[in-house]
Structure 1
Amino acid sequence: MTVTIGIGLPNQVLGVDPRIIAPWAAAAEQAGFASLGTVGRLAYPGVIDTVALAAAAGATRRIALLSGVAVGTAWPDVLFAKEVAGIDGVSGGRLTLGLGLGDRHRTDDFPLPGLGPRGLGARLDAALPVYRDVWDGKPIGGRDNPAVPPGTRRVPMMFGGTVPASFARMARWGAGYIAPSILPEFAAGLFDQARTAWADAGRDGAPRIAGLSYVVLGSDEEVERGRADVFHYYSYLGEQTAGWMASQVLTSAADVRRTISQAGDVGGDQLLFNPTIPDPAQIDRLAEAAGL
């Protein structure tokens, strides 16, 4: 199976300078990547994914945009739907909204009153029809005004998650599934669950399947820095899990090529490589390694 290749924006990489987001997006489009992705997390020293996507939309013309994944449960429903519609509109309809519940263990990602880290599945299920109504231009707040301009479309959604309810939600509302940031060999079972849920829901065709992988290409010092970044990001899960996630970082052109091949072997349609250091040189190195 042919796999399209995307690259992440460094919006949640330690030490990122926000001014790099727009030129990074433009350079990725020039290098031939099919899509740009983001990492969604609130309580982390980076650029929130909606802002990063908006900046990328303004700096590019053709490349697809994907939030991989946004924590919709941390936002008020109407506000988030309007934000997403605005990004999609500015981009000319290039956005796919990747959605996840967020992690209830990261309580600091849920600072808004009434939107805490409990009941996340039920909250997202209640939010999805609100998103649709907002995008359809229905009035909000008991008044006559819609939240979005005429011509706003229903933004296509993909869903992350690893529990049965996540796959059922994807099959009901989504265009496809986004795996966690693990190698395709570990994500294969999740891809199978997504396809099974899709068929069980009576959907035609097959879900779009996207994988995520961390990457750093360069010197030993850069590799060490990239692995340390991933370890830090997952350190709240404990040293063992954070260490395992850091071990998943790809560090050579051979790693990149092998991962692309594996993604195709397990039925992936799209593979996004997330940077682990905020150095624009990673764009051209990855493009060369991926054969773009």
Structure 2
Amino acid sequence: MKIGIGVPNQVRDVRPAIIPQWARLSESAGFTSLGTVGRIAYPGVMDTVAMAAAAGATSTIGLISNVLLGPVWPAVLLAKEAAGIDGISGGRLTLGVGLGGRPDDYVVDGLGARGTGKRLDADIEIYRSVWRGDKLPGSDNPAVPEGTRQVPLLLGGMVQATYDRVARSADGYIAGSVPASMVKPAFDGVRAAWVAAGREGSPRLVAIAYYAFADADAGRANVHDYYSSAGADIAAFISSGVSVGAEAVKATVASFEEIGADELILNPVISDVDEISRLAEVVL
């Protein structure tokens, strides 16, 4: 199982200038991917901006959005953003997309929080069209340079509709920030949908988990704050699942390896660059 690390782009009031430094240090440490977390109605750094900054600051490490809220974006704009980030990085981006569940993230007129599943189905077709270099409606021009590739696409969500959508139109799946015991049924559901759809090979299965070494209380408080708009119970549950210290992190890694994750992205809960080396010492 590969081990990636998140960037702290959605820690409240993060200092944006830390992101390129975080990316460089994570690449030097040997992590396989850099992950971003995405919301709009929160005082962090937009995931597309964080990925672009990381792309420019690094040369080998993978980039993965886990997850970006797809339906809050006009599809052509997101497809062009993703293609640009992928091109700048030299083809290192994996676009992880989810529906989102917080109404305040839907800030674009006409793109509300209802009907997001059907909208994502249509959006994925638009992403593919843009990346193929098809001309935009009403224009003689495509949106992206010649040679743009089909950016690998992973989808998040823990319902059957998501598993079926992965099997129809994506390259794999990203689980939510919950324990491996809760992720296993989702992985099994994606695998079953993949086979039922007649897809060759296997879906890419990515998991995410929060970790901390220093100032665990502040880290848990940051996670609780981030999820507070989803309700007190959800915020308490996810913040209580932060893996604190070497032994807890090792146990978390083992639990996701046991259920067959291809990659685990360990997301920081504080924006302290020392958390990078501390994690590397334990898991790499």
Give the TM-score category using the shorter length: over 0.9
The within-5 A match list for 1:184-203 is 184-203=180-199
Equivalent of 2:154 in 152, 155, 158:
158
2-structure distance, mates of 1:50, 1:124: 18
Task: Check conservation: 1:179, 1:187, Cα contact below 8 A.
Answer: yes
1-structure distance, mates of 2:5, 2:179: 15
Query: Post-superposition, which runs of at least 4 consecutive aligned residues in structure 1 deviate over 4 A?
Result: none
Equivalent of 1:30 in 3, 28, 38:
28
Equivalent of 2:45 in 44, 47, 51:
47
Structure 2 residue aligned with 1:226: 219
1-structure distance, mates of 2:95, 2:281: 28
Tell me, yes or no, if structure 1 residue 148 matches structure 2 residue 144: yes
Deviation at 1:201, TM superposition (A): 0.7
One-letter amino acid of the structure 2 residue matched with residue 275 of structure 1:
P
One-letter amino acid of the structure 1 residue matched with residue 242 of structure 2:
V
Tell me, yes or no, if structure 1 residue 14 matches structure 2 residue 12: yes
Helix, strand or coil: the match of 2:141? coil
Q: TM-score, normalised by structure 2?
A: 0.98
- For structure 2, list consecutive stretches of 5 or more residues without a partner in the other structure: none
Q: State which drifts further: 158-167 or 231-240.
A: 231-240
Per-residue CA deviation, residues 251-280 of structure 1 (Å, 9 max, x unaligned), is: 011111111111111011100000000100
Q: TM-score, normalised by structure 1?
A: 0.96
1-structure distance, mates of 2:234, 2:71: 24
Helix, strand or coil: the match of 2:198? coil
Structure 2 residue aligned with 1:90: 88
Per-residue CA deviation, residues 152-173 of structure 1 (Å, 9 max, x unaligned), is: 0010100100111111111111
Equivalent of 1:66 in 61, 64, 67:
64
Deviation at 1:141, TM superposition (A): 2.8
One-letter amino acid of the structure 2 residue matched with residue 30 of structure 1:
S
Per-residue CA deviation, residues 71-105 of structure 1 (Å, 9 max, x unaligned), is: 110011111100000000000000000010111xx
Q: State which drifts further: 140-149 or 3-12.
A: 140-149
Tell me, yes or no, if structure 1 residue 204 matches structure 2 residue 197: no
Structure 2 residue aligned with 1:137: 133
Task: Check conservation: 1:73, 1:115, Cα contact below 8 A.
Answer: yes
- For structure 1, list consecutive stretches of 5 or more residues without a partner in the other structure: none
Distance 1:32 1:117, change over 3 A: same
1-structure distance, mates of 2:64, 2:233: 30
Equivalent of 1:124 in 106, 120, 127:
120
Matched length = 284
Deviation at 1:15, TM superposition (A): 2.8
Per-residue CA deviation, residues 39-90 of structure 1 (Å, 9 max, x unaligned), is: 0111010000000000000000000000001111001111110000000000
One-letter amino acid of the structure 2 residue matched with residue 260 of structure 1:
V
2-structure distance, mates of 1:69, 1:253: 26
Task: Check conservation: 1:15, 1:278, Cα contact below 8 A.
Answer: no
Per-residue CA deviation, residues 143-202 of structure 1 (Å, 9 max, x unaligned), is: 211100011001010010011111111111111110001121221111111111111111
Tell me, yes or no, if structure 1 residue 57 matches structure 2 residue 55: yes
2-structure distance, mates of 1:51, 1:260: 28
Helix, strand or coil: the match of 1:246? helix
Structure 1 residue aligned with 2:174: 178
Structure 2 residue aligned with 1:115: 111
Helix, strand or coil: the match of 2:266? strand
Equivalent of 1:259 in 243, 252, 261:
252
